[in-house]
Structure 1
């Protein structure tokens, strides 16, 4: 039997997946097609150096970590790189791939400050060399009701945290993304207060599943997927995984995160994948896998913590309906 695979824009109705703040202020963005990410790598051959200089993605040498390799089919690269939420480059799913090519990912530095003994500023090369790169196949579940399976490249965020030595006052980690209107046309939108800010409790950030993402599918991150460095927190909804990070701050108080400030009734600070807690405007009990499921295909059942039960101990005694 032949199964028609719909275009990404046909997968679900816009009214079903688009946050209210977005469809209240829909704006058009016209830009060039993405030229590919330029992030560099810790180890590359001369061909990759040339590709890097020309603005193409470079291969990354990373061993697959079997402890983080789920037995599910990876989302096709084309789908994973053309169906994105990255509002700095546009509000529709196809706009980041169209307009993110203008993002300059070198030089790039990440400033690490706040409640740490060793504040530092690291460039992308230093980040690539900070710990051995691993390939980890993670599920990614979006609050809008769709999901992907992506082979990420990076290492546990805890590797970076240990380098800067947080003080006893560090209770949360705040992640701040680039907000440059010259490179990011979506920053002109009023849908969010820029820059994009996300945060984790320090124990969440130290969990080995929390990944500092530097690549995907064996190469450097495409711009539309958060180049050159992003967060990947697989047990939380996708918007928790901040993209194009330029600053990491260790703080005493819970950060005021972008979506929680914009729509606190819809986007809680914790944002753990919990099928038993509905979004105010739709159910979270099921999901649609991008690149695999058609419009009329039965949805998948959403798994608690997105199928990562090993994080449950982080929330022992916490009311997950109140702290959604």
Structure 2
């Protein structure tokens, strides 16, 4: 069963935004354009001001053909029940310690096997005129899910501008490393509860190029909250949520499959591909059903999280009980 709705949003968000807020936002955008015009990666377009300047201002976007028509999870639940181990292992830790994440200024390095490497401020990395709302269902391995209205743009736009070389087969991502401020990063691998920081993830190049894969900079018409991966994160809706790395600072094109944090920590539980497959149980629980946050009843888990029509062809010929 498909969980997407091939309709574009008919609602203009400028019509429901308070006029005085909307007008002030335009002033900020004009200021950002004046500072950042011509600096965007390979001509991506006009620049957003730094993430701190956007807080409290609605984001302008278009609807997306890929959005699900399922009921959205409430904003308070999306922003208060999170996995973000840099701030602690508890689901409420990210919101409690969100102020530990320093997002301004923020730079993103693009390098590796590509023709156009560079280092960019986040405001020069994204274009407000190409943002879309993508209402995606997101699945966590612990058996819970959410429906989140992300604001972002397709990752393939950055990849096309970077121009990967012929030997590039994977895209590797690296998150922020700041143990002085992020309490969860003070415990290293080998210590109790420690992980191999910084957080690393990776996608096959064709997965990263797929139009479902986006870089998100907001949700629910607002700039991305710290606990949800500010100022910019990856979203891959047909995979388990831990593949959608938060607060990215490094994108690298590589030939070999890159190491990833959870695969290094527990390779028998977290495979590199991590596609949602209800027929493959996690070693400690079943994946056949899930509970939507905010609901009590459980739902049947769908193959590829309901996006099989879009992405199944990427894995043709692969044993999806083995390559998990």
| TM-score normalised by structure 2 residue count | 0.82
Do the aligned partners of 1:52 and 1:58 also contact (CA within 8 Å) in 2? no
Do the aligned partners of 2:187 and 2:195 also contact (CA within 8 Å) in 1? yes
Question: d(CA) in 1 for partners of 2:129 and 2:161?
Answer: 10
Partner of 2:232: 229
Partner of 2:212: 209
Partner of 1:180: 178
Partner of 2:150: 152
Question: d(CA) in 2 for partners of 1:55 and 1:90?
Answer: 26
For 1:166, which of 152, 159, 164 is the aligned residue? 164
Q: What secondary structure is seen at the aligned counterpart in 1 of 2:231?
A: coil
Displacement of 1:131: 6.4
What runs of 5+ residues in structure 1 fail to find an aligned partner?
1-42
Question: d(CA) in 2 for partners of 1:301 and 1:114?
Answer: 41
Question: d(CA) in 1 for partners of 2:201 and 2:141?
Answer: 15
Partner of 1:300: 299
Displacement of 1:274: 0.5
Question: d(CA) in 1 for partners of 2:236 and 2:298?
Answer: 23
Q: 116-125 vs 273-282, which deviates more?
A: 116-125
Do the aligned partners of 1:177 and 1:247 also contact (CA within 8 Å) in 2? yes
RMSD of Structure 2 on Structure 1 (CA): 2.0
Q: Is 1:243 paired with 2:246?
A: yes
Question: d(CA) in 2 for partners of 1:216 and 1:53?
Answer: 15
Q: What secondary structure is seen at the aligned counterpart in 2 of 1:314?
A: helix
Write out per-residue CA displacement over residues 252-292 of structure 1, whole angstroms, 9 at most, x where no aligned residue.
0001100000000000000000000100010000000002x
Q: What secondary structure is seen at the aligned counterpart in 1 of 2:159?
A: helix
Do the aligned partners of 1:116 and 1:164 also contact (CA within 8 Å) in 2? yes
Q: What secondary structure is seen at the aligned counterpart in 2 of 1:45?
A: helix
For 2:83, which of 71, 82, 85 is the aligned residue? 85
Displacement of 1:183: 2.1
Q: Is 1:311 paired with 2:321?
A: no
Partner of 2:112: 114
Q: What secondary structure is seen at the aligned counterpart in 2 of 1:64?
A: coil
Within a 5 Å distance, the mapping from 1:251-266 to structure 2 comes to: 251-266=254-269
Q: Is 1:286 paired with 2:289?
A: yes
Write out per-residue CA displacement over residues 84-142 of structure 1, whole angstroms, 9 at most, x where no aligned residue.
00000010000000001122211101000000001011211112228600001000000
Change (3 A) 1:53 1:213: closer
Q: What secondary structure is seen at the aligned counterpart in 2 of 1:147?
A: strand
Change (3 A) 1:251 1:236: same
Question: d(CA) in 2 for partners of 1:58 and 1:52?
Answer: 11
Displacement of 1:52: 6.5
Do the aligned partners of 1:100 and 1:184 also contact (CA within 8 Å) in 2? no
Q: Is 1:219 paired with 2:218?
A: no
Question: d(CA) in 1 for partners of 2:71 and 2:28?
Answer: 29
Change (3 A) 1:62 1:210: same
Question: d(CA) in 2 for partners of 1:196 and 1:213?
Answer: 17
Question: d(CA) in 1 for partners of 2:243 and 2:156?
Answer: 17
Question: d(CA) in 1 for partners of 2:320 and 2:222?
Answer: 36
Change (3 A) 1:119 1:51: closer
Q: Is 1:44 paired with 2:44?
A: no
Question: d(CA) in 2 for partners of 1:299 and 1:229?
Answer: 31
Question: d(CA) in 1 for partners of 2:128 and 2:61?
Answer: 13
What runs of 5+ residues in structure 2 fail to find an aligned partner?
1-23, 32-48, 189-193
